[in-house]
Amino acid sequence: MSAVRIVLQPGFRPYLTLAIVILLLSTFDAGQGRFLTIATAFSALQTFATFGLVALGLGLTMLIGEFDLSVAGVFGLAGCVALLMGAAEPWVGIACALGIGLAFGLAQGFLITKLDLGSVPVTLAGLLTATGTAYVLTGNRAVSSEHVELALAIDEPMASLFSIRSLIALGIFAVAGIVFSFTRLGRDLIALGSDRRASIMTGVSVDRLVIGSFVFSAMAAALGGTLLSMGLASASPSGLSDVLVPAVAAAILGGVSLAGGTGTPLGIAAGILTLTVLRSGLNAIAAPPFAHDVATGLILLAVAISDTPFLWHRLIALKAYVRGYFG
């Protein structure tokens, strides 16, 4: 049963889930060469670049026992701002979009810490504010960019597998993973999510970590929305908002607990890859459109069951019962 104990560990589970999804899709492909291709891998990494940064920021707030609903609104608003303000010079648009993320993150972090407010109502207000602002700025219409060459360059395949957009996302995950694993910051975030009172007693700067987490979450969402909009050379306030559910699902699959205190950036990356590989793989083998939602729901249910308290003790009891019954 020691192997089962290892499999049930939250830190190991994201990689196991990803491996199982790849194995199952390979089996369904039945050797026809539709799934295990460079094109499928490129598509999965492009989707990773779309949802990855949002999931990383959201997962970080979940890790400390909070929740940032505003990421979907900031994602869309930043994409619109990047194109509107970057009409003459794209770098100006990028700077303005990141500034939007910084402002939302700081405002929400200060409200939560200084007024002792819950993160859900505060970030829900942030979500509605960002979405409404995007509609006002765009006049409820799609905006486009004349920088077509930049759009093509951002999503141009590199080594047949990567793009500038996916490499930026992967690079940020790598840096986050290194910082989380080899600095005190990672330990403090885990401690904060596990027991906030104990963290205060040990000298952890709780307010700074909470504010910093929401700033990172909003800026990561802003960067993700900016890169996607620039890659598409277009944006609309409604067309860039469907990222919250995939981001939450990816964070949970990545080992982040809704109660806080568990999870890592690399685990979140594995969770995102599970969803993106699943989406790209099902498309490659021509599965029905509803198959992705059903499969994702079943995976999340399996993860929820494996995360149930006392599951390990129940498995031991089941083993003893089976032995006694057949013994």
What would the pLDDT profile of 149-195 be if each residue is shown by its tens digit? Answer: 999 999 999 988 999 999 999 999 999 999 998 998 888 898 888 88
| Residue of 100, 112, 113 whose CA lies nearest to 71 | 100
Structural domain contains residue 252: yes
First to last CA, the chain: 18
* pLDDT at residue 265, rounded to an integer: 93
Burial class (CB in 10 A: 0-12, 13-18, 19+), 199: buried
| Residue 198: count of CB within 10 angstroms of its CB | 11
Residue 298 forms part of a structural domain: no
The pLDDT tens digits for 253-305 are: 888 887 778 889 999 999 999 999 998 888 888 888 788 788 888 888 877 77
Residue 209 forms part of a structural domain: yes
What is the rounded CA–CA span in Å between residue 253 and residue 13? 8
pLDDT of residue 211: 96
Q: Is 327 helix (H, G, I), strand (E, B) or coil?
A: coil
What pLDDT, on the 0 to 100 scale, is given for residue 307? 63
Q: Check residue 106 and give its pLDDT.
A: 97
DSSP letter for each residue of 113-181: HHTT--HHHHHHHHHHHHHHHHHHHHTSS-EE-S-HHHHHHHT--BTTTB-HHHHHHHHHHHHHHHHHH
Residue 282 token pair = 């099902």
pLDDT value at residue 297: 86
Tally of domains in the chain: 1
Evaluate if residue 128 carries a pLDDT over 90.
yes
Query: What are the structure tokens assigned to 213, written together?
Result: 């987490």
Host domain of residue 312: 2-25+52-285+307-326
